Each structure stands twice: as C-alpha cells, then as structure tokens.
Structure 1
Amino acid sequence: MNKTVLAVAVSALCGNVHAADMSSTPSQNTSVSQTNVVMVTAQKIEKAPYEVNGSVTVITSDELEREGATELYDSLKNIPGVSVSGGAGRPQNITIRGMRGNRIKIIEDGVETGDGYGADDLSDKVGRNSFDLSAAKQLEVVKGAGSSLHGSGALGGLIVITTKDASDYLTPNKNTAVEVSTNYVGESDKLKGTVNLAQRIGSSEHLIRYSQWTGGESENYTGEVYDRDVDGFDLSLTSNFYIGEHQEIKTKVSYYEDTMDRNDHDNYKSGDFNENTVTSSNKYQATYLYNDADFVLFDDAKVLGYYQSTKSNNNKTRYKTKLVQNINYKFLLLENGQFDEEKVGLKTEFQRHLDNQNIVWGVDTVFKEHSRTLGKAIISDGSTSTSQTNPFADANTFNIGLYAHDDIMWDAWDIGFGVRYDFHQLTPKDKNQLASNGYNFALSDTTSSEISPSFSIGYNFTDELKTYFSYNHGFNSPNYAKVYGYVPHDGVPPFEIVPNYNLKAETSDNFEIGVKSRMGIYSVNAAVFYSDFENFIRTKQTGMNSDNGRITIQYVNLDKVKSYGFEMGASADISETVTASGSVGVVTAEEENGAYVETSTPWEGNLALHYSQDFDAFVRWNFAAAMNKVPTCSDGECVTTAGWGTVDLGLSYEPITDLFISGNLNNLFDREYVRYQDVGGMSDAQSKYNAEAGRNFNVFVKYNF
C-alpha cells in the first residue's frame, strides 16, 4: 500500500498526463457554476453566511488546503464554540456548544453519516469520520439545534459536508480536467495522495476520485501514545446528467476503508497484544433536480434516494499468563467485534420563491438495520472454548419527518419560522435475543415523536449592520444501543448495563442573540447563546441483580443540562495586502444541580495576521485560559488544565500556473500543553497520553492539468 501512495504522491509533481481542451460545450451545461461565492446550504434556502439569523461557519476547500487539514480536528479547531477531541488513529468527537456524540448530526451530500457507538457518547468512531475530508468542497458548521429542518440527531448542532463534482474542475471550454495532490502531516507521519479526473461526455459530466493514505496515530508531546498504524483509501464516481434546461440527475457511488493496526497496550509485554480494526462505508445515491419549474407548489424540486452500509470489524489477540498451583499457564484470547449498519432512505425538498418570500417544504424517511456481535475464543493447553454474544440486540429503526420553513423579507426585517414533525420507531429483530447473554426478559418496541419549531428575526440597520434573535428546538430520539444494550462486566465491582425501552427523546431549546457587521475594512460577528436540554440520557445505577451479584446500570432520562456562552470573530484590512483577524469563545455546560459537565470549554481563540499578494502567508497565536470548571470523578475532582498559547506559521504559493504549494509549521516554539476538550471528565490517570504534539509541519502540493 505504501508504494501506491508514494506513486500517487510523486505523480502530483512529475506526472505525465495530458488533459484535452475542447471548444464544443453542450447548451445544457451553460448553467454550470464557476463562482466562488460561499453559500450556506444547511438552511435549505441558500444564503450567504452574513444573511443567516444565527451562527454558521463555512470552511472552503481552499482554506482546508492552505491549512493542510486532513482530519476533522484540523478543520474545526479554530471555530469558537466548537471543539474536536482525538486525532488520527483515535476517535474524533465533535462538540458544539457543550453537546457531542450522536447529538451532533453529520451530513455528507444530503445523507447522514453512520452511527457512532462510543460508550455514553464518548469515543464515537464508526460513522463519525468515515469519509475523506479532501473530497469536501465546503464544510458548514451550524451551532445550535437544527431539528426543525434536519430532524432527530441535530439536538446540539450539525456539520454539513458538500463534496466536489465535475463542475468544480470543468469550464465551458474545458471538457477534461485532471488534478493530482499530495499531503504530508508531520503530527501523524501521514502521507496521502489524491487523483481527480473530470470528464464531460455529451450532456453529462463525471468525476472519478481516488485517495489513499498511510501513516500512524497523532503524536502526543512525549511520543508515548499507543503504536497505531493507519492506512486507507477512498474511491468515488460522481455523475451529473443534464436533461434539457431545467432537469438534472446526479448519481454518486463511493467506497471508503480505513485500517488501524495496534501492537501495544498497558500491562502487556511486547508481542502479546494486537488489535486490528477495519472501518468501511459504501454509499449509493441518486438525486433528481428540477429547477425553475414555476408550478403552484414549487419552483425547484429535489428528490434524493440512497443506500448506505457502514461496517467495523475489530479483532484483538491477547496473550495472558495465569498462575495456577505455582505453574504459569499462558492463555490466548481472541476477540472479534462487528458493527453493521445499513440504511435506505428517501428525501424530498421543494422550494417556492415569491416576492420577498421563500418557502421550503418536504418529507424525509429512512429505514435502518443495526447489528453488533461479539465473538470470543480462549485457547489454553490444547483446548478451545468459544462464545458468541450480542451485547446490543439487532434492531430496526424507522424515521419519517415532515417539515416546512418560510423566510420573509419585509422592509429592514428578515423573519424566518419553521416546524417539523418527526416519528421514530425502534423494533428488536428478536425480542428474546439477549437471553443467550443472560438477560431473560423479552424486549419491546419503542416509539417517540416530536414537533420541532424554529423562529428567527433579524433587523438590518444598514446593508452593513444587522442584529438578530433566533430560537430553535432540538430533538434526539433514543439510540438503539441505549435502548437494547445488555453488557455485563465482571470486574471489581461487577456490574451490567441493562436495556431500557422506556427512554424518552432528548429535547433542547436554543436561544441566541447576535450582531453582524461588515463596515468598510472591518467585519465583526458576535453572539451570546443559551440552551436548555431536557430528558438528557445518561447512565444511572438502578439496583442490584441478586441472581448474579452485579450492580445494574441503565440509560435513563435523568438529567437536565444547560449550556451558555459567548462567541466573537472579527477581522480588519490593515492594508491592501495585510489583514488582521481573531476569534474568541467560551462554553459553560452545567447539570440542573449546578455541577459542571465535561463538555464545557475555557476561554479560547486565536489572533492572526494574514498577508496576500504574490503569495499568501499567516502567523497565528492560538490560546486558551486555564480550566477549573470541571465535574467530579470517582476519585475526586476530574483533571483541570493550565492556560497555554502556541504559534503557527503558514505559507502558500503558486510558483507556476496550476501548481499550488502550501506549508504549515505548527507549535513553532514546541510548547507542551493539554487541550481541555481532550481530557474533560477524565481522572489524572486516564489523561496520561493527552498532551498535544510538539513542533510539527504539514505540506500540501496540488497540480491541475
């Protein structure tokens, strides 16, 4: 695999590929957009970020390339109110304004990514980042609930990823385009190569994309993290078929695979431990578009059908030695855990454009199948014992949602209101499946439903200054793993997590007041926010199983949680070539009794100077205050963090036409520090590997033929 990656990387610099330019262009393709105007699509009705009555951050592919970002935590780390824990080779959890895990919805090209299955919304992995970031045209980060448009899962916010298609490479006079690129990321020793081939054939356009990578886990400061090797690839074909002047069919087929191999673990000798995890996702989707129809009910229509399969296969091999009557016996423990999620769905979206008014409405439906199995084998002294269990019952999920949203422009006022109804049903495939694990009770179906309204109002004092207020209701239906999980632990003390099919849906009420200004050389966005979360799902000790002596623990609707904070971003054009910018934010999350929640963040942000003329460059100071608003752990107060500051440098340059090079030097002064979001809720003993990487660099090279 390494040779293939190197070959792709080298081709970015010395490839011998000829791209033909053709003068003939089908009339159907004259509408292909070549604009660089950034628009927000997460609101269904496209707007510029300034026009949205709320906090939305858009990150373009150009910005990702200048930063050398290849992971979610790279791309989102400079957004106030947003943090991503983990790194390459480790689970990456997105936290938005105090909410994380499956309470944050990730949507790629209209389709929600797969489920994450970390315990208690920690360490979510499968589905959370089973996509290649280099395919992204732009990322949209919506802070606060998005359930009135996107339904369950958008309780605390959402990430919307739009990937590139052929129109991003072709022009009316260019029917073939080839782009090759390579990345090197020093923090994880990751080398990545990508090839994009775009081709126009008659009245259709096609993009074939292949990306491959090899490397390791993101390093900590001392280099003492677990030794993980990470390899993977991503392959996709996107096609646009233009039918006359108003209709289009867009199809996409993609396959993603990422392999992690780990060969060390605490308390194991070298060679006595191995873990191999293969995560894969394949997706098939087709979208029908009808634009400028001028019908009574809609002008523009979009119908999206899709199938997606997400899988994880985790294998562990462990050697253990046990002393029996003064004789050491060596045991070989083999463990295989599998996660499978399949879903098929249909989404519709209809828009009607009237004078000073835009209306969007539609219906979304999806059917999912979930399966998680755990197989174990113990080999000792020539004998083998095996077991096969389902720690979580196989289940089906059915969702349907109906929504409508209206935007009205009246004099200096922008008014938006919407509502969505969602129905959610969970059904176990076998109501007695957990009996093989020792849970001798039949499982039941569970349903939940919710009406999620939203309202916003903005006032434009001038074309360059506005203020706004927004309210959004959030909704998150109970996850099958929390409803149908039975996981026994025979440690000290022994306990078991038992099903709870009486769980209610989590809900949130999100309020925000903000101001946006773009006066002359200055630009300012500032907001204060407050969110209430009810029926918050957490684990709680609910009793004792007298039959086996285990403590019983369930996911229950226990807590009310609130989060509040402040965010601000500003920039100023000092001269024609130099711009100063900065951002700062803080999030405080508390339980009803006033105890802090681990998803709080300290005051943190950055200040930067950007230069742009013959080349682009920046210097940025990243900072965070000390954090002592922490929850209580079992052995006392959870870990706190000290304040820190680091400096990053970046340079990007086009030495010749169509060749782009960028380089970044991160943590210039080799500062040792810990980000609170990486250790929030941990004890000191658990946080030993979480100091950030020392001085490191990224390089990105791209050439267009």
Structure 2
Amino acid sequence: MKRAVVVLLILLISAANIFAETGSIRGTVLNSVTNLPLTAVNVLIGNSSIGTSTDERGEFTILKINPGEVTLVASYVGFKKTKIAITVEQNKTTAVKILLEPYVISVGETIVTGSKYEKQIKDIAMPLEVIKSNEIKAKPPVTISDALQNLSGVSLIRDGIWGTTVSIRGLSKQNIVTLIDGNRIETGTNIAAGLSMIDAMDVERIEVIKGASSSLYGSGALGGVVNIISKDGKFNDELYFGGSIISGYSSVNNGGRGRLSINAGSANWFAKISGTKRSADNTQTPEGTLENSQFRDNNISAAVGAIPFSNHELKLTYQRFYAEDVGIPGGAPFPKTAKASYPEEKREMFNIAYRIKNLLPSMTNLSLKYFNQKIERRVKIIPNPKVELRPNADHNTNGVQLQTDWLIGESNYLVAGIDAWQRELDSRRTREIKPANQIIGERPVPISDYRSIGFFVQDDLKLIKNVFKITIGGRVDQIKVTNKDAFNPEYIISNGVRNDLPPNRTELWKAGEADDISASANIGLLFSAAENIDLTFNAAQSFRSPNLEERYQYIELGAATYLGDPNLEPEKGTFFDIGVRVREDNFTIRGNVFLNFLNDLVIDQFKSENLFVKENVGKARLYGFDLNSEVNFYKNSVIYASLAYVRGEDTEKKIDLPEMPPLNGLIAIRTPITQYFNADLSANFSAKQNKIAEGEQATAGYVNFNFYLNTTSLNFAGVGNRLMIGVENIFDKAYRNHLSTNRGIIKVEPGRNFIFQWQMDF
C-alpha cells in the first residue's frame, strides 16, 4: 500500500511538471547612444545562470520561465550593467527592449595579455596601464613614446623629434623590456630610439607593466615592460572586405603622413596589409628652429591567419620599418657643434605562431611561436668639417617560445613554458680624416652574441571566489655571452690603399665567454574589500644580465668616450607595490606606492669631463607613487587626471641617481560638443627637478596646454569619415623636459603645433 502511494505521488508531481504553465521573454539589446544592436550581450535572470546571449541582430529569447516578477540582468564589456524588472505571464511571450549605456570612463574591462594570457585589467594585481588604438588616433603621436608619455609613471626621453624612448618609474633603456607582438626588440644604444622604429598607426594597443617582471619576461624587466600589440585581422562568420585611409598634417615641422590599410577574411581565414609613409622638416620651437630634427620613414606590415582544423589557428606576420635622413639634434654623446643623423634605420620582423585550443580537458591552450627580427642602424656624425664618423651596427635576433595554459578545477589557472632567444651583434665604425685622405676602420664593440634560455611558470589561484586572488610565478634563466677578438684600428685606408695590419694596432677585447644563471619570482595579491573596491599587493625578485654594449663598448664620439666592462655583475632587484582601486559607474581612482631596491645597477659613471665608464652601483633605491582618476560628472563629460613621483638614490654614495623625472601629471576634461564632436582639453604639468646627479642640470617646472577635437564617424554613401583637429602647446610656451635636457643639447620642446587628421573607413 505504501509503495502504491509513493508511486502515485511521483506520477502526480511528474504530471504537474509536464503540464506546468510557463512563459518566455524575447527581446533586443541596443547601444543607447547609437541605437545599434549589440552582439554577444549576456542576458540572465537575476543572479542565476539561466539565460542566453544576443545574436548578431542583438536579439535573444529565454524560454520556460516560471510566471511572476523576474529581473533581467544584461551585461557587456564596455557598457554599464542594466537591470530590468519584468512580469512573466503564463503561456505568453513578453517583449522587451534593453538599452545599454556605454561607459565613458575606464572601469578595467579592457582585455590584456601582460600576464601571459588574456585577462581583464581589473583581474590583474600588477600595476598595468594600457592605451588603445582609438586613443592613439585621437591624439596622433610622432612615436610610440609620445603616445605613452601621459600615462602615470611613464616619462618621455627625447634625443630628437624622431628619436625617443620612455622612463618607467625612473628606469629606462636596458632596464625595460620592449616587445612587439610578444617579440623582443634588442638594440642597445646610447641614443634614445628604441621605440621609434614602430608605426604608431599600426598599433591595436600598448600595455605597460610598471614594475619588475623578470619572472614573466626574463632578463631586463627590472623597471617594467612595454608590450606593443599590432593591428591584426579577424575571423568572421561571413566573408568581409574593408579598409581605411588616413592622412594627416602637423604645422610645427611641416610634417605629412599617409596610411592605407586593407583587410579581408571569413570564418577560416583572414588577411591584412597596410602601409604608412611620413616626412617632416625641422621642428619649430618658441626660441627658433630646432636644427637637424627632420625625418622621413615608412612602414609596411602584413598578417595572414587560418584555421586549418577545429581549435587550431595559424598566424604569420611581417613588418618592415625604414627611416632615412633622420636628424639627431640631441644625444649626450655628441659635442654641441657636431651634426649627427641616421642616414638609414631599418627594422624587419617575421613571426609565425601556431595555437591549439582545448587539446586536453585541462589544457586550454598550447602555443608555439618563432620570430626573427633584424635591426640595421647607420649613424653619421660630423664633429667638425675635417672629420666624419660613421658608426654602424646590425642586430639579428632569433627567438622561440612554447607555452601551455592549464585550467585545474574552477579556481586554478596555470601557465608554463619555455622561451629562448639569441641576439647577434656586428658593430663597426669608420673614421674619415679628410685632410689626410684617410679612413680608419674600427670595432667599437666586438662581434658577439647574447643567448638566453628560460623556463617560466605562473599560477593564478582564486582562494575565495570573487574576493581573494593570488598569483605566484617563477623563472630560471641561463644566459651565455660570447665575443670574438677585437682590434683597433681594424684597418686603415690611406689614399685608396687598404692596410689590414696597420701600425699601432691594439687588441681591445680578447675572445671570451661568460655565463649567468639567474632565478626570479613574483607574488601578487588581489583582494576585493567591497563590491567596487580592490586592494593589491605585488612583490618580485628580478634581474638583468648586462648586454653586449655594456660589457664591450668602446665608443668615442668627440664630446665623450664611453667604455664598457666585461666583468659587470648582473643587476638584481627587489620590488614592492601596494595599490587601491575604486570603480563606480561614474568614478574611478587607482593609486599605487612602490619601492624598488636595486643591487649592482649598471650606469654610465661620470669619471671626467668627457669620460664615462660602465659600472655597477653598489646599492640603489627608487620609491614613489602614481595616481589616476576619472570622474563622469555630467552626462558624457569626464574629468581625468594623473600624478606621478619617483626618487632615485645611490644608497651607498648618498647621492641622487641620474635621469630621474620630476613630479609630473595632467588634468583634463573630455566632453562631447553636439552629437558629432568630442573635445579634449588638457594641462600637462611638471615640477622643478633639483634632485640631480653629478653632471646634470636642474630644470624649472612648467604647465603646457593641449586641445583636440574629434568627430564621430560621419557616414556618406556607406563610407565612414572621421576628422581630428588639434593644437598642442597652445600658448607656444618655452619649457624644458628634464630627461630630454639631460640627454643632450635639446633645451626647449616643440612650439605651438596645429595638427589635422582625416580617416576614411570603407
């Protein structure tokens, strides 16, 4: 009897479920500004996992919903989360239209790869800044460094208008790893131009890690990483073809630029090719013409991708950047009377990558990559009418990387891999003495190579879901450096006759090799103190093995002589960073304080009026802070600001380190003017810098104003058009960039600059 009752109850419950009356919701999700449909928007019921995502028309349908009041939650990257209360009725479909409002401030949803795999910035504990393609185009820069200079903690170093690089929290040049699509740019030089051989208009985004990152990227990342991601093609369900044309002009140097990009693809392939050409005359400053600051360059880049099998992806990329007649008006190595230039500069890179997704249940990614990058640098120096110097160098770098990504359970993401790269350097110099009709061949750096092999592992753990995350990483590197014998002079040509065994020939460097084995580690903590407040902590041990130029250089350029030291010790660093992040729909603030202890820091030690020798500074300390904030104070109007400070000290000699940027920052307002125009007015400021090293000059503080006006996309006959006009240094103010001043003879920055740019998308 009891068994019959149980069976009857089961049948009744089943029947109730079968004949239960439910309803459904069907709707569309649109951008509230453009009124266009949004694809792949997540639409869920309340806090449950019941829901779906929108299709290419922005439409969605959710079936079998119990009748009654429900709350729909729509979320999409770059848009404010929206909740809508809806009444679901039995056997009826409720129609709804959801308007998502785009964020006008950054809330940390940008996807980046600085941690070796794709994550949103807000999920990364390390201090990281990013600038995207649309931001670069809105304020067209001359070089990558110009585009980065407004990021907090990042400062511009200038040896010319074309020749620039950056300082990150007081460290620069060889203490920063520069990557283009994950591939190292290796070209040691005393002249700032490491970031000049990249087309800023071909960049999708730039990620800047502010702090030690050797456990991820190996030797050199004591100060941080600049990771430049090039524009790429894309796979698409339907066949597509498109492109863009960009043309621009700058009044300050009569500079013109043009760019053409074409792309096509479908579900299983894509192809993209682009080319840029630029030219500029001497730059005008408030104090007159900056002589020898002209440049001409061009860039070609191409990418093709294919999906040969399900979950398999193949990609090949090629870039060739070429510059000629580039003036170098600054540069500490050159005498004030010298005329220096790059007659030719060339960077050529080839990259092939193969990726397999979900090869194993727990292996989400397996990727293998090879790259080759060649950099040719040709320099011409005329210290006086009787002498001409021509330093030349060829840098050839080959690299390979194997990486695996593992998802272990729901809360453990592990990345492990191995990378290896080798840089080969062939450096030479000719010295022409015109009165004697004589050419002397020299080797400022011996033929040498630098090889690095490293194994890395990075583990992301979610200890408490959505509350506490920990990142632990480690790396071991083996570095080998070899060099051949180097003699000076290598040869002498007198009256057209060459002598390969000239008198007074001396051996500068004997053939030899050196090995370094270094270990590095990092830990990062991300704690969600409240729904919109995160606290971060980072600590890292880092290292840098001295490069070839630092070990072997013998550079004599008239104004100064620079000597290397084969016995330099690897630099070692211990880095700490504490941060807070507050994210509201209309307000964000990010602040960090940092402390960086460095041992055996390699610097050009001032010995006499014209002699600098590479030396390890016993102990150094850098500390400071950087701060960012955005406030959406009215509709789509935003005030944004940043502030940064760093102090560098040689703690053994009790003196200041060289090339430390002063307190600096900006405050700006960005606002729409009608539905077609967006305006941006900024004030960049810098305090005076009197914490200087021996041989440096103190610089005064300044405020500089800039204005930019960009249109939204204006469609004519199916073709999108965007215009940009701007004025930089509005009041034509004469001011000095501390780092530029102390790198050479540039005493004043560019004057008032009217800029114009037109972009057509088809």
Bin the TM-score by the shorter chain.
Answer: 0.7 to 0.9
- Equivalent in 705, 708, 717 of residue 647 of structure 1: 705
* Alignment pair present for 1:136 and 2:191: no
1:541, distance to aligned residue in structure 2 (A)? 7.8
Which letter maps to 1:587? V
- Equivalent in 238, 245, 261 of residue 180 of structure 1: 245
* Alignment pair present for 1:293 and 2:359: yes
Name the structure 2 match of 1:216: 281
Structure 1 unmatched ranges of 5 or more: 1-29, 321-330, 544-549
CA distance in 2, matches of 1:59, 1:262: 28
The verdict on how the C-alpha distance between 1:667 and 1:317 changes in structure 2, with shifts beyond 3 A counting, is closer
Return the index of the structure with the highest Cα Rg. 2
- Equivalent in 298, 314, 331 of residue 233 of structure 1: 298
Which letter maps to 1:339? A
The verdict on how the C-alpha distance between 1:189 and 1:87 changes in structure 2, with shifts beyond 3 A counting, is farther
- Check conservation: 1:273, 1:316, Cα contact below 8 A: yes
- Check conservation: 1:114, 1:128, Cα contact below 8 A: no
Name the structure 1 match of 2:755: 698
The verdict on how the C-alpha distance between 1:39 and 1:305 changes in structure 2, with shifts beyond 3 A counting, is same
Name the structure 2 match of 1:660: 722
CA distance in 1, matches of 2:520, 2:329: 47
* Alignment pair present for 1:284 and 2:284: no
Which letter maps to 1:578? S
The verdict on how the C-alpha distance between 1:434 and 1:299 changes in structure 2, with shifts beyond 3 A counting, is farther
The verdict on how the C-alpha distance between 1:196 and 1:651 changes in structure 2, with shifts beyond 3 A counting, is same
Name the structure 2 match of 1:15: none
Name the structure 1 match of 2:403: 349
- Equivalent in 517, 530, 539 of residue 582 of structure 2: 517
CA distance in 1, matches of 2:336, 2:600: 41
- SS of the residue aligned with 1:194? strand
- SS of the residue aligned with 1:244? coil
* Alignment pair present for 1:419 and 2:474: yes
- SS of the residue aligned with 1:502? coil
Name the structure 1 match of 2:142: 70
- Check conservation: 2:532, 2:584, Cα contact below 8 A: yes
1:358, distance to aligned residue in structure 2 (A)? 0.9
- Equivalent in 414, 417, 431 of residue 485 of structure 2: 431
- Check conservation: 2:367, 2:402, Cα contact below 8 A: yes
1:302, distance to aligned residue in structure 2 (A)? 1.4
The verdict on how the C-alpha distance between 1:186 and 1:452 changes in structure 2, with shifts beyond 3 A counting, is farther
1:575, distance to aligned residue in structure 2 (A)? 1.8
- Equivalent in 415, 428, 446 of residue 373 of structure 1: 428
1:291, distance to aligned residue in structure 2 (A)? 1.3
Name the structure 2 match of 1:22: none
- Check conservation: 1:314, 1:336, Cα contact below 8 A: yes
- SS of the residue aligned with 2:307? strand
1:579, distance to aligned residue in structure 2 (A)? 1.3
Which letter maps to 1:608? A
- Equivalent in 535, 538, 541 of residue 473 of structure 1: 541
Which stretch shifts more, 211-220 or 476-485?
211-220
- Check conservation: 2:188, 2:547, Cα contact below 8 A: no
Q: Report which structure shows greater RCO (CA 8 Å, sep ≥6).
A: 1
* Alignment pair present for 1:114 and 2:186: yes
Give RMSD over aligned pairs: 2.8
1:95, distance to aligned residue in structure 2 (A)? 0.4
CA distance in 2, matches of 1:166, 1:485: 42
- SS of the residue aligned with 1:392? coil
CA distance in 1, matches of 2:726, 2:146: 12
Summarize deviations over 1:69-97 as a string: whole Å, max 9, x none: 23123211211211012166443121001
Summarize deviations over 1:113-141 as a string: whole Å, max 9, x none: 131311xxxx233x442111111000011
Name the structure 2 match of 1:576: 635
CA distance in 2, matches of 1:357, 1:261: 50
The verdict on how the C-alpha distance between 1:488 and 1:614 changes in structure 2, with shifts beyond 3 A counting, is closer
Name the structure 2 match of 1:615: 677
The verdict on how the C-alpha distance between 1:166 and 1:402 changes in structure 2, with shifts beyond 3 A counting, is same
Name the structure 1 match of 2:654: 594
Structure 2 unmatched ranges of 5 or more: 1-54, 57-75, 79-108, 491-504
CA distance in 2, matches of 1:162, 1:603: 29
Summarize deviations over 1:252-297 as a string: whole Å, max 9, x none: 112110112559999999xx9685521001111100011122355x
CA distance in 1, matches of 2:569, 2:149: 33
TM-score (norm 1): 0.84
Name the structure 2 match of 1:563: 622
Name the structure 1 match of 2:456: 403
- Check conservation: 1:71, 1:88, Cα contact below 8 A: no
CA distance in 2, matches of 1:522, 1:414: 24
- Equivalent in 561, 570, 590 of residue 505 of structure 1: 570
- Check conservation: 1:87, 1:217, Cα contact below 8 A: no
CA distance in 2, matches of 1:487, 1:274: 15
1:614, distance to aligned residue in structure 2 (A)? 3.5
TM-score (norm 2): 0.78
CA distance in 1, matches of 2:311, 2:304: 17
Name the structure 2 match of 1:3: none
The verdict on how the C-alpha distance between 1:506 and 1:569 changes in structure 2, with shifts beyond 3 A counting, is same
Name the structure 2 match of 1:628: 690
CA distance in 2, matches of 1:179, 1:131: 19
Summarize deviations over 1:166-215 as a string: whole Å, max 9, x none: 22xx7544521121111223333321111111122783210011111111
1:679, distance to aligned residue in structure 2 (A)? 2.3
CA distance in 1, matches of 2:707, 2:548: 45
- SS of the residue aligned with 1:79? coil
- Check conservation: 2:552, 2:564, Cα contact below 8 A: yes
- SS of the residue aligned with 2:392? strand
- Check conservation: 2:471, 2:524, Cα contact below 8 A: yes
